[in-house]
Amino acid sequence: MEKLTRVSTISGRTMFCHLDAPANAISVCRDATQVVVAGRNIFKIYGLEEDGFVERLNLRVGRKPSLNFSCADVMWHQMEENLLATAATNGAVVTWNLARPCRNKQEQLFTEHKRTVNKVCFHPTEVNMLLSGSQDGFMKCFDLRKKESVSTFSGQSESVRDVQFSIKDYFTFAASFENGNVQLWDIRRPDRYERMFTAHTGPVFCCDWHPEDRGWLATGGRDKMVKVWDMSTSRVKEIYCVQTIASVARVKWRPERRYHLATCSMMVDHNIYVWDVRRPFIPFATFEEHKDVTTGIVWRHQHDPYFLLSGSKDSTLYQHMFKDASRPVDRANPEGLCFGLFGDLAFAAKESLMSAPPSVGDVGRKTYPGGDRRYPIFFFKKPDVTEQFEQVSSALSVFESEAGSSVGMDWFINTAQSYLLSGKPFGELCEHNAQVAKRLNRPQESTTWTMLRIMFSEPANPSLSSNHNLNKSGNLPLVNRKLKEWIKDVFLCAENEETEGSEGQAEYLFGDAELDDDDLYSMEHDNQAEEPEYLLPQEAFPLRHEIIDHPSAPEPVQERPESPHVSGSETESTCLTSTESFSLISVSQLLFSPHLPPKFFCPIVKEMLCYYAEQGDVQMAVSVLIVLGDRIRKEIDELTQEHWYMSYIDLLQRFELWNVSNEVIKLSTCGAIMCLNQTSTTLHINCSNCKRPMSNKGWICDRCHQCASVCAVCHHVVKGLFVWCQGCSHGGHLEHVMEWLKHSKHCPAGCGHLCEYT
Partner 1 sequence: MSKLLKTVSVINTVDTSHEDMIHDAQMDYYGTRLATCSSDRSVKIFDVKNGGQILVADLRGHEGPVWQVAWAHPMYGNILASCSYDRKVIIWKEENGTWDKMYEYTGHDSSVNSVCWGPYDFGLFLACGSSDGAISVLTCSGDGHWDIKKINNAHTIGCNAVSWAPAVVPGSLIEQPTGQKPNYIKRFVSGGCDNLVKLWKEEDGQWKEDQKLEAHSDWVRDVGWAPSIGLPTSTIASCSRDGRVFIWTCDDPAGNTWTAKLLHKFNDAVWHVSWSITGKILAVSGGDNKVTLWKESVDGQWACISDVNKGQGAVTSITDSQQNEQ
For partner 1, the binding residue among 354, 535, 717, 721 (CB under 8 A) is 354
DSSP string, 436-494: HHHHTT-HHHHHHHHHHHHHHS----GGG-------HHHHHHHHHHHHHHHHHHHHHHH
Strand pairing partners for 130?
122, 142
Closest separation in Å from C-beta 650 to partner 1: 8
Residue 220-239 contact track with partner 1, rule CB under 8 A, x = bound: ----x---------------
Q: Which amino acid is at 551?
A: P
Q: Is 319 within 8 Å of 15 (Cβ atoms)?
A: yes
In whole angstroms, the minimum distance from the beta carbon of 207 to partner 1 comes to 22
Stretch that binds partner 1, among 113-121, 308-316, 326-334, 372-380 (CB under 8 A): 326-334
Nearer to partner 1, 10 or 282 (CB): 282
* Residue with smaller CB distance to partner 1, 109 or 346: 346
Length of the chain: 758
How many C-beta atoms surround the C-beta of residue 490 within 10 A? 23
Output 288 or 735, the one with its CB closest to partner 1.
288
| Nearest approach, Cβ of residue 448 and partner 1 (Å) | 15
Which one among 51, 500, 549, 562 touches partner 1, defined by CB under 8 A? 500
Q: How far is the CB of 246 from partner 1 (least distance, A)?
A: 8
Tell whether residue 335 is a contact of partner 1 (CB under 8 A). yes
- Asked whether position 327 contacts partner 1 by CB under 8 A, the answer is no
CB of 301 to partner 1, least distance (A): 30
Within 10 Å of residue 359's Cβ, how many Cβ atoms? 11
The number of C-alpha atoms within 13 Å of 114 and in the hemisphere containing its C-beta is 5
Q: Which among 155-163, 243-251, 574-582, 740-748 is the span making contact with partner 1, rule CB under 8 A?
A: 243-251
Q: Does 394 bind partner 1 (CB under 8 A)?
A: yes
Which region, judged by CB under 8 A, interacts with partner 1, from 57-65, 313-321, 333-341, 715-723?
333-341
**440 near partner 1, judged by CB under 8 A:** no
**Total of chain residues touching partner 1, rule CB under 8 A:** 77
User: How far apart are CB 758 and partner 1 at their closest, in Å?
Assistant: 31
Q: Binding residue for partner 1 (CB under 8 A) from 502, 577, 677, 706? A: 502
Is 385 an interacting residue with respect to partner 1 (CB under 8 A)? no
Among 102, 332, 377, 553, the residue binding partner 1 under the rule CB under 8 A is: 332
Which of 197, 342, 378, 699 contacts partner 1 by CB under 8 A?
Answer: 342
466-495 binders of partner 1 (CB under 8 A): 492, 495
Distance CA 511, CA 489 (A): 12
Count of alpha carbons within 13 Å of 196, Cβ hemisphere only? 12
> Which span (167-175, 401-409, 514-522, 702-710) binds partner 1, by CB under 8 A?
401-409
> For residue 204, what are the CA distances in angstroms to 159, 201, 234, 241, 245?
10, 8, 22, 14, 16
Query: In whole angstroms, how close is the CB of 125 to partner 1 at the nearest point?
Result: 39
Query: What's the closest the beta carbon of residue 750 comes to partner 1, in angstroms?
Result: 42
Span of 16-24, 88-96, 497-505, 689-697 interacting with partner 1 by CB under 8 A: 497-505
The DSSP H or E segment spanning 348 is strand 345-350
Any idea what DSSP says for residue 717? Answer: B
**DSSP secondary structure code for residue 249 in this structure:** -
| One of 1, 102, 377, 396 touching partner 1 (CB under 8 A) | 396
For the bound state, the minimum distance from the C-beta of residue 410 to partner 1, rounded and expressed in Å, comes to 12
Q: How far is CA 635 from CA 306, 312, 614, in A?
A: 73, 73, 17
Structural element, H or E, at residue 119: strand 117-122
Residue 5 or 679: the one with the smaller Cβ distance to partner 1 is: 679
Residue 392 binds to partner 1 (criterion: CB under 8 A): yes
Q: 565: which DSSP letter?
A: P
Helices assigned H by DSSP within 668-726: 671-674
Scanning 79-87, 350-358, 511-519, 729-737 for contacts with partner 1 by CB under 8 A, the matching segment is 350-358
Residue 650 has phi, psi (to 5 degrees) of: -60, -45
How near is the Cβ of 227 to partner 1 at its closest, in Å?
16
Q: Say how far apart CA 271 and CA 253 lie, in whole Å.
A: 17
- Residue 285 and residue 324: Cα distance in Å, rounded? 9
Side chain identity, residue 355? S
What distance in Å separates the CA atoms of residue 295 and residue 313, rounded to the nearest whole number? 7
C-beta closer to partner 1: residue 286 or 593: 286
Q: Which of 31, 267, 376, 399 binds partner 1 (CB under 8 A)?
A: 399
Cβ–Cβ < 8 Å for 175, 141: no
Q: Which is nearer to partner 1, 33 or 640 (by Cβ)?
A: 640
Is 409 in contact with 342 (CB distance < 8 Å)? yes
Strand 316-321 to strand 336-339: parallel, antiparallel, or no bridges (unpaired)?
unpaired
Among 99, 346, 478, 535, the residue binding partner 1 under the rule CB under 8 A is: 346
- Do residues 625 and 667 make contact, with C-beta atoms less than 8 angstroms apart? no
Residues sharing a CB contact under 8 Å with residue 758, sequence separation 6 or more, in sequence order: none
Helix (H, G, I), strand (E, B) or coil at 340: coil
Side chain identity at residue 357, one-letter code = P
Out of 80, 344, 516, 533, the only residue in the binding site for partner 1 (CB under 8 A) is 344
569 interacts with partner 1 by CB under 8 A: no
* Interatomic CA distance for residues 694 and 46, integer angstroms: 79
Piece in contact with partner 1 (CB under 8 A), picked from 37-45, 132-140, 399-407, 506-514 = 399-407
Nearer to partner 1, 243 or 386 (CB): 243
When asked if residue 407 is in the footprint of partner 1 (CB under 8 A), the reply is yes
- Cα 216 to chain center, whole Å? 39
**What SS3 class is residue 72?**
strand
CA distances from 131 to 67, 123, 173, 544 (A): 20, 8, 9, 98
Stretch 608-647 residues interacting with partner 1 (CB under 8 A):
610, 612-618, 621, 637-640, 642-644, 646-647
355-384 binders of partner 1 (CB under 8 A): 355, 358
Residue 520 has a CB neighbour count (10 Å cut-off) of 17
Could you say whether residue 243 binds partner 1 (CB under 8 A)?
Answer: yes
State which residue, 504 or 597, has the beta carbon closest to partner 1.
Answer: 504
Q: Quick check: 498 and 406 in contact, CB under 8 A?
A: yes
**Residue ranges in 148-207 that form contacts with partner 1 under rule CB under 8 A:** none
Q: Which one of 197, 322, 347, 379 is in contact with partner 1 (CB under 8 A)?
A: 347
Q: Which of residues 62-101 bind partner 1 (CB under 8 A)?
A: none
User: Which of these segments, 81-89, 172-180, 337-345, 549-557, binds partner 1 (CB under 8 A)?
Assistant: 337-345
> Least CB distance from residue 334 to partner 1, whole Å?
6
Residue type at position 697: K
Q: Residue 349 interacts with partner 1 (CB under 8 A)?
A: yes
The end-to-end CA distance of the chain, in Å, is 97
- Report d(CA 619, CA 654) in Å as an integer: 13
Residues 645-704 that bind partner 1 (CB under 8 A): 646-647, 651, 654-656
* Burial of 476 (C-beta count, 10 Å sphere; 0-12/13-18/19+): middle
Q: Which CB sits closer to partner 1, 584 or 621?
A: 621
Residues 245-304 touching partner 1, rule: CB under 8 A, are 245, 279, 281-282
Q: Which of 67, 99, 241, 395 binds partner 1 (CB under 8 A)?
A: 395
CB of 291 to partner 1, least distance (A): 11
- When computed from its CA atoms, the radius of gyration of the chain, rounded to whole angstroms, is 45
